[in-house]
Amino acid sequence: MSNDSRWGDPRDCQVGASFSGDFIKEVEVPEKRILGFVVRRASRKQVLIHVNLSMDRGDAVPDDVEADREFRYRCGLIKAVNVFSGDKSTMTMYLDGFPNVIIDVGNTEFRFDPQLENGPVAEILYRGRCTRRGKMPYGRINIFASLVFKDQTQMEKFVVATTTTPDPEQKQKMERHSGSSYRSSGSGSPFWPLAAGVLLGVAIS
């Protein structure tokens, strides 16, 4: 992820974090005296403690702890492609200042903001297990995406729909379920663009 993007650092946009497990904490050991003599000087030491922390409960989750974290990042939208394949529809987003995102169309929303001046934007809600600024060794999970446009004309310019041929196994399932009505459409190519258009229209509405 780009930390020098004009959209800022994605990790500045943490909206949730939780941690459960053993945690090394530095504590202060006070000075100890017996009969006025110092038998132990004040110092600091590390101790191992077990904690259950969550931002939802108002806890502070240390940045250097590998925790489950959620971020909401707003950046520029270059292009969004609705891909319909078989009975699955996804949205592929090409973004300015953030890696490309592929997410189920059901986890995508379209919004309009007449005050938007510098092109469409995307707000990506994602999560992963990591330190606040570190890499996500187990990968990033995209939860939800909001695509914001100035108006419908701008949306039509930046959002396109396409179809791909389902794999043979998926195609056989479709043929068994659809029966003769599906077979009468020949190769099925007229069916896919229509379905994709209808699905995109429902998602937009």
Residue ranges per domain, the chain?
17-66, 69-204
Residue 190, pLDDT score = 35
Torsional sign, CA 152, 99, 92, 111: negative
Q: How confident is the model at residue 167 (pLDDT cuts 50, 70, 90)?
A: low
Extract the tokens encoding 54.
């969550």
pLDDT tens digits for range 41-100: 888 888 888 889 999 999 999 999 999 999 999 999 999 999 998 888 999 999 998 999
Section 3-24 average pLDDT: 87
pLDDT at 179 over 70: no
The answer to which of 65-79, 115-129, 136-150, 188-202 has the lowest mean pLDDT is 188-202
Phi, psi values for residue 185, rounded to 5°: -90, 10
pLDDT at 202 over 60: no
Tell me the C-alpha distance between 83 and 167, whole Å: 14
* Average model confidence (pLDDT) across the chain: 81
The contacts of residue 84 (CB under 8 Å, 6+ apart) are 161, 162, 163, 164, 192, 195, 196, 199
Residue 32, pLDDT score = 83
The angle subtended at Cα 106 by Cα 174 and Cα 141, nearest 5°, is 110
pTM for this model (two decimals): 0.69
Q: For residue 108, how far is the Cα from the chain centroid?
A: 11
Extract the tokens encoding 22.
């053993």
The residue among 15 and 169 whose pLDDT is bigger is 15
